Amino acid sequence: MSDLTELTANGTVMAASDEFFADKENLLNPAPATFQPHTFTPKGQQYDGWETRRRFGRTDGHDWVLLRLGAAGVVRSINVDTAHFLGNYPESCSIEGACAEGYPGPDELTSWFPLVPVSPLKGGSDNLFDVDVPWRVTHVRLNIFPDGGVARLRVFGDVVPDPRDLADVPFDLVALRNGGKVVGCSDGFFSPPSNMLQPGESQFMADGWETARRRSPAHDWAAIKLACPAVPVVAEISTKHYRGNSPDRVALSGSTDGKSWFPLLPETKVQPDTEHRLRIETDHEVAYVRLESHPDGGIARFRLYGKRTSLDALAAQWHATTPI
């Protein structure tokens, strides 16, 4: 699953009923929430999250915040993190989703459907909710009852790209936002391989995929399902920020079923802190690729471009997840 709210995937906080004590944008900060006691602003104790003012016991309303996800997808779970909010967290919450075309403003969003019913919250902790809704979600509305503070909001699910956005244009076949997905790996001790498939440049060393130091005569690998079947042409492999811990060599294999593999790129020497553009010579269609790190180390970003052979599966997934 991917974090559909991630800032690096272009998620944003669009609107909120109130943000008197702490800004709504803090909800999508990728870093864990922090707290400094006795740190006061003119509005009171400073909190790292979204905090609304007191409603003075009124029962005729509640606070809410509206987010546009970084990528549309089917939501599987949601974390309402109330870290450090102990005497000022909401009593309960509910969460709604919407599936919208284009780029509507907050007032143009309609046809909301429930993702999480009204549920109690605990203060100072993760509040994890499983979601069993088959529809694609582009926007999320968190309702809190009646008021209070939430540190972080994370929406996890499976990306469902719009096939119309990918037709007749070049696109990255392994990008998370296009539907690429890690389906297996040998190791992710320091950071997971899904980091490689994020948009944008790697920001720091932990923003890529880094394995533990290998002490056996083997190598590390990550298997990735492509957004759609294609004949790969060019791979871009970046070791940015990995200076003393980049791989010595990389290689690529392909597969049509994720089980039987054939070579796409032989073991190729790579350099630390460098972006590499590597040509792939093959006529084989693949639906999966396996990136090998010899013998181990860190890879910041992985991009794969090629000649797609079919968008039929993407189109079928898109239509199946469209709300009726």
Going along the chain from its start, the domains and CATH numbers come out as: 2-159 (2.60.120.260), 163-308 (2.60.120.260)
pLDDT of residue 7: 47
pLDDT of residue 46: 75
pLDDT of residue 86: 93
pLDDT of residue 109: 93
Q: Exposed (0-12), middle (13-18) or buried (19+): which is 22, by Cβ within 10 Å?
A: buried
Q: Taking a C-beta distance cutoff of 8 angstroms, is the pair 284, 222 a contact?
A: no
Q: How far apart are CA 53 and CA 319, in angstroms?
A: 42
CA-based angle 291:136:80, to the nearest 5? Answer: 85
pLDDT of residue 208: 96
> What is the longest distance spanned by two Cα atoms in the chain?
68
Q: Which residues of the chain have pLDDT under 70?
A: 1, 6-9, 57-59
0.75 surpassed by pTM? yes
pLDDT of residue 311: 86
